[in-house]
Structure 1
Amino acid sequence: MQRMGMVIGIKPDKIAAYKQLHAAVWPDVLAQIRSSNIRNYTIFLREPENLLFGYWEYHGSDFAADMTKMAQDPRTQAWWQHTDPCQSPLTSRKDGEQWAMMAEVFHTD
């Protein structure tokens, strides 16, 4: 299992809509997340900085392949059509990233 963290900005005027979307995530999207070997997926909001922090545990063996499969899923693409306009990607993110991936520097059980 690999713990993964990521961060992205959120547009202040879109916070309510983003919360509303995530109060009722589409079942097909949740199924795709599970089939992509992601568990314990959590998104936190930090105001007033307007940052979203995402955390998940990856239980697969080929992260790139699983993320490609997720990105090709039509229902996930439709979901992103609703969520992406709410977000403000960081300028420091790597090419191809929406959310900027973070390096784990500490963990304790």
Structure 2
Amino acid sequence: MQRFAFKMKLRPGCEAEYKKRHDEIWPELAQLLKKAGISDYAIFLDEETNTLFAVQKQSGASSQDLGSTAIVQKWWAYMADIMDTNPDGSPVSVPLKEVFYLE
């Protein structure tokens, strides 16, 4: 399993709504992520900058590689009002380089 980390940007004042939407993640989206080999997926919020930091383990594609699926397209549209997005509707996502890991 490979670890993959990235950051995204949450719009100010949307912290509670972001958490609510993820607390109620659609079962079909969670199933797709797991089927794609994504596990141990966590998202953290830096409240000072509204930066979201995500980390996941993957044995295949990253969650960021599933954008061609209908459910991910629907999720992106659902989240677009509270996050910075690209012209295709995907969240603006910046991969992060791992510089330290303690097992």
Check whether TM > 0.5: yes
TMscore range, shorter length: 0.7 to 0.9
TM-score normalised over the length of structure 1: 0.79
Q: Which amino acid aligns with 1:55?
A: V
Matched ranges for 1:18-33 at <5 A: 18-33=18-33
Moved more, 80-89 or 43-52: 80-89
Query: Which amino acid in 1 is paired with 2:56?
Result: W
Give unpaired runs (5+ residues) of structure 1.
90-95
Separation in structure 2 between the aligned mates of residue 12 and residue 38 of structure 1, nearest angstrom: 28
Counterpart of 2:49 in structure 1 is 49
Amino acid at match of 2:67: A
| Counterpart AA for 1:101 | P
Asked whether the 8 Å contact 2:83–2:91 carries over to 1, the reply is: no
1:75 and 2:71 aligned:
yes
Structure 1: which 4+ aligned runs deviate by more than 4 Å?
none
Cα distance between partner residues in 2 of 1:13 and 1:76: 24
Query: How large is the Cα RMSD of the aligned pairs?
Result: 2.0
Q: TM-score, normalised by structure 2?
A: 0.84
Deviation of residue 97 (structure 1)? 7.2
**Percent of matched pairs sharing the same residue:** 27
Native 8 Å contact 2:8 2:91 kept in 1: no
Count of equivalent residues: 98
Structure 2 gap segments, 5+ residues each: none
Letter in 2 for 1:19: K
